[in-house]
Amino acid sequence: MTNKMWGGRFQSGPDAIMEEINASIGFDKRLFRQDISGSKAHASMLAKQGIISKSDAAEIRKGLVQVQGEIEAGTFTFSRALEDIHLNVESRLKDIIGPAAGRLHTARSRNDQVALDFRLYVRDTVDHFDAQLQGLQVALAEKAEVHAATIMPGFTHLQVAQPVTFGHHMLAYVEMLARDRSRLADARRRMNENPLGAAALAGTSFPIDRHDTAKALGFDRPTRNSLDTVADRDFVLETLSACAICAIHLSRLAEEIVIWSTSQFRFVKLSDKFTTGSSIMPQKRNPDAAELVRAKPGRIIGALTALLTVMKGLPLTYSKDMQEDKEPAFDAFDNMSLAIAAATGMVKDMVPNEAEMRKAAASGFSTATDLADWLVRTLKLPFREAHHVTGSLVALAETEGCDLPELSLSLMHSVEPRITKDIYKVLTVENSVASRVSFGGTAPKNVKREAKRWLKLLKA
């Protein structure tokens, strides 16, 4: 038996294997809202242009509302024989309103229909991500405001480098997420063109109004080339690319939470909400949520790589290869949303251990740069010479088994006789962070001001 929606050219039905590989309804049924919205806009435009009657358009709209209600209620029966969401909706519409349903596909192809549905879906997804990322930024900025002066070690090579503040560290992720939102906004702006009306690939001979459907569906304008329109999946690639970069940022945050919550660091504590236990070791509190967020980029980068590989080398215009665009993207988008939600929850939940962080910040000769800066500023040494003197003092402190603030003035004089007792004022971690007043620096007053600025922007 042929597919009654398109089978006039065919004398028999597809092989079972052909039906298995060809059907997409198992995953593209999630596009039902976008598909029905596009059909409503198309029917309305057809009636305005006199291509179908207003009464048929009204029946079509009424039937589509019923179809959407059935799908949302879970009473709709999806058919694999009808291949995809487009034919499933149209077939049910025909059951409801009769032959008038057949007029809906006038001046339209499944090629521009799927381009429309997927574009609408990705646009909705981008808007969802933007709201989620804004929420994560707020959580980070609020934590930064509270801990603007909470001292922790800053690291390079995962070695203690210089003292910073926990608030400053949180704001670093706010900046990353701002770039992520900007990339998603750029992708949204480029995708916000209406593909409906490109038809199969060449446009249509009917006097359609693509500007009307663009306006009805919230697009800025129609696409300008019908061939490119049905062949294009850049909007998915761009969004997946932005998601991959964002997922890497989330993974870096998650990795730090994993490290910070170890018994070796003890910088933060997560509650039972975002940790799990062990089936054999009763003392364990495992940061599983953070570890899973850390792992999510693998799936998201994989989806991007998969679609890049599918699209590579495809001739214009549409090829069935492009049906492989959705499953990996849907999986990536679902996991992206889950990762953002988990990261937001952990940021709100984690409690910094201020004593441990300050203790760690004061270790590893973290104020050595402050000492070198003092030599430049006070003794007028060239920085390279000051760097050498400071290195010698660090080596001396290592020999003495102490940190720089504990090194006696007489021992310091053995390296540089002009050093005065004022040096000790710059060797505390509090003075170190307070001195970093340059724009973008970690000084608590900078951090407080920047956190307030971000919160004002984010909550506006």
What residues act catalytically? 157, 278
* DSSP states along 408-448: -HHHHHTT-TT--GGGGGSSSHHHHHHH--STT---HHHHH
Nearest-angstrom CA–CA distance, 232 and 226:
10
Q: Which pairs from 407-415 meet CB under 8 Å and 24+ separation?
A: 415/389
- Which alpha helices (H) appear in 312-367, and where do they start and end? 326-349, 354-361
Cβ count within 10 A of residue 110: 21
Element (H, E) at 376: helix 368-379
- 199 contacts 112 by C-beta, under 8 angstroms: yes
Cβ count within 10 A of residue 271: 12
Residue 387, judged by CB atoms within 10 A of its CB (0-12, 13-18, 19+), counts as middle
Cβ count within 10 A of residue 73: 8
Nearest-angstrom CA–CA distance, 316 and 228:
8
Nearest-angstrom CA–CA distance, 149 and 443:
8
* DSSP states along 103-141: GTTTT--HHHHHHHHHHHHHHHHHHHHHHHHHHHHHHHH
* DSSP states along 155-172: EETTEEEEEEEHHHHHHH
At 131, the amino acid letter reads: A
At 32, the amino acid letter reads: F
| Residue 374, token pair as written in the block | 């003092």
